Structure 1
Amino acid sequence: MKRIVPLFFWLFAGSVAAQSPNKSSWAPSDNSTIVRIHRVEQVKLEMPFPDGSSFKNLKLDEVMAAYHIPGLSIAIISNYKIIFSKGYGVVTPGSSRPVTPTTLFQAASVSKPITAMASMALVDKHVLMLDEDVNHFLTTWKVPSNTFTEQHPVTLRELISHRAGVNVHGFAGYNRNQSLPTLIQILDGVKPANNPPIRVTAVPGEQESYSGGGIVIEQLLLTDVTHKPFSAIMDDLVLHKLGMINSTFTQPLASQWRSKAASGTNSNGKAVPNQWFVYPEQGPAGLWTTATDLARFAIGLARACNGTPRAILSQPLAKAMVTPFNDGGAQCFHLDPINKGLFSHNGQNEGFESLLVMNWKTGNGLVLLANSDNGEYLWDILLQGVSKEFGWNYHFDQKPKEWLLMAQIVGVDAMLKYFNTQKATGLSENEAGEGDLNQMGYFYLSDGEVSKALSIFKDMVQLYPTSANAYDSLGEAYMAAGEMGAAKESYSKSLALNPQNDNAREKILQLERK
């Protein structure tokens, strides 16, 4: 089966686009900064190459092209200041219009901590309370009572921290030609909403379970207590106060913003139909922004955490956003236990991916936005490159994994030969594992290169003969190739290894009907 993207990730890799880097919004006067950025823009790929060399230096735009990423925007923060911002590539696949530092991208789930900041601002004003039943404040809809809420009510703190026991992980969005549901329709799962009803399905407060549905409840909470549209609330409480002049939560995107917006790109390099999807779930997924503006948010929160005068939040509430619970669970971000003070959040909407990383103790951070489902392939490379060049001294468990990049540069067969050779030397699963092969196989499958996907999945079942997931993925590739007998055999092996694999069972029935 296809990989499931984690809620938060600290290390990443890979992406796509075929244009030269575009002019930065801030031309650094320090030559050392220019040199450092130039080195970040070079990617060293190490492996035996057919010409006898052991490495190649690739330019960032070459790496973007290999991963089908049309456009990228970056902002680097040092000592609580934005020291560099730049656009790379183009706003739409195949176009010539360059990404600039003012190009708008969908922030996806990075919308959530900005929404949390607005909630905290209302707590600061004593309009809301963190630990009171949200039904005391909701007026247009109530969290339905059940056996779970009877044991513990849903509170704002729990909604923000994904501990409210609420279902619905994320949202698929809507084509721009589709009818859009109201917020109440989304909450109740009533058409045209494309999600199930948002309900409490576990005792609130007992454990962390990521829920975009919970943030939709938070969105309604903000509109109910202020009697304002959500986008106006966010403008007043966060965006305008932090100088985020190129950001908006308006959904659908208003006409005055559209000419500045990038188009989303699917993993196969093709543009999202009608450029982008619409997300009426504004609180968890609706922000359009730039890397520079997200950097302003990160700096604003970091300064508030340090108790800077006239900060956007009081210090206790700001620090509550970046403080773990006793069980280690996050409040609003992924919190790294090794790199003290570091908070991060990533996001994935249809055709867009994002990453925000900031350390409130050191003042150093990085924001990355891509108009591609493959943006995450670049995150590790750029994060580690920037950290190294600017002396942040962050601890990383491993180097970025670049197996897919190798496959794109030297071919799948050569990559697999090297992969298998390296596995034989005892490389760990973190260094070269089943997940890497599965990810690469689906990259090629989504790209329509079925023969390459088959080669990878066949190798995967050889290396992992007891893996139900490996045979499941191979079955999908066989189906794409039209080899239905082989597909049924693979799914049968998957089901034998994991009798709970409902996907394999359904595929077998589907193949038998054919």
Structure 2
Amino acid sequence: MFARKASIAIVTILSLPLCLLAQSVSTSDSVDLFISRVMQEKKIPALQLAVVRDGKVVKHATYGMANLEHNIKATEKSIFSINSITKAFTGVAIMQLVEAGKLNIKDPLSKHLDSLPQAWQQITLQQVLTHTSGLPDMDGSDGMIMGKGDERLAMEEITKRPIDFKPGEKFSYNQTGYVLLGQIITKLSGMHFTKFIESRQFAVADMKLTRFGDSYDVIPNSAGSYTLTKQKGEQFVRNDKPGVAYIQFPEFYRTAAGILSTATDMANWVIALKTGKLLKDKASMEIMWTPAVLNNGRIGGFNRLTNGYALGWPTVSRAEHPAVAPVGGGRSSVFVYRNDDLSIIVLSNLMGGNPDQFTDEIAGFYIPDMKAENGFGLSPGLKKLNAALRKTGFEHTGSAMASLKKLDPAFTLSDDELNGWAYQLLAQKRFKEALSIFQLNVSLHPKSANAFDSLGEMYEVLEQPKEALASYKKSLALNRENKNAAGRIKALTSK
């Protein structure tokens, strides 16, 4: 069975190491302390970090355990699966063929591949690369790849299916297109696409430990793959301790996933890319890193952070510190901050560790205005309020708002804005500040059921059940369909 998403916990480990030690060329610093805290909170067994500035690796560090079964510490030579970050390598490979004059990203699939279904023929390479093609997905809803490892069988099955939507209509993550890209790279380069990527990227970028592989292969210094989810009947349940995950990527699938690497090798790859060793023309990188525009004029991506998708590269499209940010398997990320000469690579061996969620925080150690406490990521209005509260103290939210309104009578903040910020403060364990913003939200938006529901959750965190109960009751009175408030009221009154 060839699974991509399925994460069957075969071995459950009794405990994580109490101490996550860093083996690094640098002394322990605030970044190390931050990483160790995040690893403990998320239960990540091992993690590698590399930071690139001025074309050099300025920090590389390895933390934790590569193998929990045999109590083996991770080292700088430990190799991690990067899963779908592989797609970024495929994007580079396609652009190398563009520079060689062998194709154009606007080419229809039918220009390079024969015997495609009629509905597929005019889909462009760009639409395939950006997951806007509408192609049916070779990765089934059960996480199983079609064909059971056989490319011919997979293609026979997938080509019988209709397209999912009109090309360019929306973003929909899709593996089929990358299988087709592998076929095109193999055809136009004169060698199998894995060999093309190995020779034109791994070798050029001095990626000595990087290779293609999966759980079936015997890989020296493998950091393995762990998961906190376990299948129980038809459901997947979350465990408190990591178990072993087993995943295979058939060779024909390895334009989509299948590369294993180290953080240092990945840093070398980013440096080679940015210094023109992989792509000669700067315009090639601009094309590769520009997110697709949908038929409605918008961009589409995974979530609010990685909100666009370019040629194999997810994008963080925002006014401040935009980035291109390949992510893989919920376990690894590569953030290249386009305007800041900063790149951060985080590889881990826990599916669901989601380092993309805390990479910006690492960046804040190198770019101070990216620190969450300095207001990074907040809306312009919230930034003004944050600046005011840093002067007056968070206990004076009312007077701070009054001052801002005096300066600008039109100044306003939505309940969603305030709620989102309060939860960020809560995640940072800034409990007093979070409570103040939740309280401000209900005072400014007394008819918002969601604001009162969130305030109730804050009071529960602070172990103030009476106050929590009152907030939930207010929320339910405003919205009788609020199941969370109803459930919490029942739980709190039954104690």
Which residue identity lines up with residue 132 of structure 1 in the other structure?
Answer: D
- 2:182 corresponds in structure 1 to 219
1:304-383 equivalence runs, <5 A: 304=276, 310-325=277-292, 327=297, 329=299, 330-331=309-310, 332-339=313-320, 342-348=323-329, 353-376=331-354, 379-383=356-360
- 2:57 corresponds in structure 1 to 82
SS in 2 for 1:132: coil
* Cα separation, 2, equivalents of 1:289 and 1:156: 27
- 2:151 corresponds in structure 1 to 183
Which residue identity lines up with residue 39 of structure 1 in the other structure?
Answer: S
Contact 1:93 1:269 in 2 (8 A): no
* Cα separation, 2, equivalents of 1:83 and 1:17: 28
- 1:386 corresponds in structure 2 to 363
Give 1:421 deviation, angstroms.
Answer: 7.6
Q: 1:471 to 1:361 in 2, by over 3 A?
A: closer
Which residue identity lines up with residue 365 of structure 2 in the other structure?
Answer: K
- What's the CA shift string for 1:371-399, capped at 9, x where partnerless? 113312x5444532433345575883158
Which residue identity lines up with residue 344 of structure 2 in the other structure?
Answer: L
* Cα separation, 2, equivalents of 1:168 and 1:433: 41
Contact 1:358 1:364 in 2 (8 A): yes
Q: 1:203 to 1:181 in 2, by over 3 A?
A: same
Which residue identity lines up with residue 164 of structure 2 in the other structure?
Answer: T
- What's the CA shift string for 1:202-245, capped at 9, x where partnerless? 22234433323322221232234345333222202222111122
- 2:20 corresponds in structure 1 to 20
Higher relative contact order structure (alpha carbons within 8 Å, sequence separation ≥ 6): 1
SS in 1 for 2:332: strand
What is the number of residues matched between the two proteins?
390
Bigger CA radius of gyration: 2
Q: 1:360 to 1:260 in 2, by over 3 A?
A: same
Which residue identity lines up with residue 339 of structure 1 in the other structure?
Answer: E
Verify: 1:300 aligned to 2:269, yes or no: no
Percent identity for Structure 1 against Structure 2: 17
Contact 1:369 1:375 in 2 (8 A): no
Give 1:469 deviation, angstroms.
Answer: 9.3
Q: 1:463 to 1:68 in 2, by over 3 A?
A: farther
Structure 2 unpaired stretches of 5+: 6-15, 230-238, 300-308, 379-420, 458-468, 491-495
SS in 2 for 1:208: coil
Contact 1:19 1:90 in 2 (8 A): no
Q: 1:248 to 1:437 in 2, by over 3 A?
A: farther
SS in 1 for 2:126: helix
- 1:426 corresponds in structure 2 to 441
Q: 1:397 to 1:20 in 2, by over 3 A?
A: same
Q: 1:406 to 1:239 in 2, by over 3 A?
A: same
- 2:248 corresponds in structure 1 to 278
* Cα separation, 1, equivalents of 2:184 and 2:480: 45
Contact 2:136 2:176 in 1 (8 A): yes
Which residue identity lines up with residue 77 of structure 1 in the other structure?
Answer: V
Task: Point out the more displaced range, 232-241 or 420-429.
Answer: 420-429
SS in 2 for 1:185: helix
Which residue identity lines up with residue 360 of structure 2 in the other structure?
Answer: L
Q: 1:216 to 1:315 in 2, by over 3 A?
A: same
Contact 1:343 1:359 in 2 (8 A): yes
Q: 1:89 to 1:216 in 2, by over 3 A?
A: same
Contact 2:96 2:278 in 1 (8 A): no
* Cα separation, 1, equivalents of 2:58 and 2:240: 31
- What's the CA shift string for 1:123-151, capped at 9, x where partnerless? 22223332222222125xx43223xx47x
Match among 424, 432, 435 for residue 401 of structure 1: 424
* Cα separation, 1, equivalents of 2:473 and 2:65: 40
- 1:453 corresponds in structure 2 to none
Structure 1 unpaired stretches of 5+: 6-15, 29-33, 44-59, 191-195, 305-309, 408-414, 439-457, 479-514
Q: Using structure 2 for the length normalisation, give the TM-score.
A: 0.65
Give 1:66 deviation, angstroms.
Answer: 2.8
Contact 1:403 1:436 in 2 (8 A): no
